[in-house]
């Protein structure tokens, strides 16, 4: 398994609540409906809690770290190959991926939201 991790920042002009509501209520069903087409085996959203005092303490602890992300999306795939074209219908996968990206532009500040692939190493659990 390989995991795609997407650290999300909301588009300017959206409150964290608006961002998280759209992400959960509008975008999540789109991902779920297209998961099979793009080869997603698992999709999890982790929404940043609204605890400004605690986040400020975390930032101070780290010497002035940036604001926390508004959330993190995690998507699991069988392999890099499965994610990059090893799906039954590559044309349907391309359409689904394009539709998801189009919707992401509605609520995610894409240039300021890092994304990467990684392998999990479970240490405790």
Q: Is the pLDDT of residue 50 over 90?
A: no
Q: Where are the domains of the chain?
A: 2-118
For residue 86, how many other CB atoms are within 10 A of its CB?
Answer: 14
CATH architecture for the domain at 2-118: 2-Layer Sandwich (3.30)
Q: Report the distance separating Cα 122 and Cα 109, nearest Å.
A: 30
Longest CA–CA span in the chain (Å) reads 49
This prediction's pTM: 0.90
Give per-residue pLDDT as tens, 65-89.
888 899 999 999 999 988 887 888 9
């Amino acid at each position: 398994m390989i995991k795609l991790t997407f650290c999300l920042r909301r588009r300017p002009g959206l409150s964290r609540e608006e961002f998280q509501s759209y992400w959960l209520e509008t975008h999540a069903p789109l991902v779920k409906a297209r998961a099979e087409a793009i080869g997603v085996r698992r999709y999890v959203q982790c929404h940043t809690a609204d605890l400004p005092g605690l986040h400020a303490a975390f930032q101070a602890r780290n010497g002035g770290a940036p604001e926390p992300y508004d959330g993190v999306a995690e998507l699991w795939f069988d392999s890099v190959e499965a994610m990059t074209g090893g799906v039954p219908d590559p044309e349907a996968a391309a359409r689904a991926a394009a539709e998801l990206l189009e919707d992401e532009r509605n609520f995610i500040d894409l240039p300021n939201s890092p994304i990467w692939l990684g392998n999990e190493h479970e240490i405790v659990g």
